[in-house]
Amino acid sequence: MYHLVIFASGGGTTLQAIIDAIEKKELDCCQINLVISNSADAYALERAKKAGIETYVIQEKKANEIDNELENLLKNYEIDLIILAGYLKKIGPQLVEQYTIINTHPSLIPKFCGKGMYGMKVHEAVVEAHEKVSGATVHYVNNHYDEGNIICQTQIEVSPNDTADDVAEKVKAAEKLQLIEVIRDLSQIKKHP
């Protein structure tokens, strides 16, 4: 079994895509052991509870205290991969050193990324820049926002009449498919080193 921990801050649509892929046997050797959020109101927590997955909410405190809290929490779980799925906080260096962590970002890194560039802010910037393509990137997490090694990218076409909402819908669809493929590939590497 390939053990996952998912970090999410919002609605959890990416989490739901992973849950669905596991249920449909597309990720048949994967199991989500824990969903962590920095927001008690995140709908991702409800999605996890409906799927019978343990949840944990990080209380607001200093960054180093959060790192220690997470380190103490995570050592109680078997973890092969941590996935940041719409998680809006920076992961501390202690966790980056101890775990394999990937992030999904709604642009073609290195464009439209870094601190403060997430969600609709990215898609609005793409439209304002009159980009002809955008897309999604899955990358390893290091100690800098969106600077870890890129695992893969998927391009989508941006039409001249597309709004930020249009771009968001296209990117979300590509992002979820791409992430499932990456998780499958990483789980297969563990299975057949």
Q: Give the catalytic positions in this structure.
A: 105
Place of tokens 């930020």: 164
Rounded to the nearest 5 degrees, what angle is found at the Cα of 143, between the Cα atoms of 139 and 149? 25
Tokens for 178, please give them. 């791409």
Question: Is the C-alpha dihedral spanning 84, 99, 181, 111 positive or negative?
Answer: positive
Give DSSP secondary structure letters for 112-160.
Answer: S-STT--HHHHHHHHHHTT-SEEEEEEEE--SSTT-SPEEEEEEEE--T
Please state the φ and ψ torsions of residue 7, each to the nearest 5 degrees: -105, 130
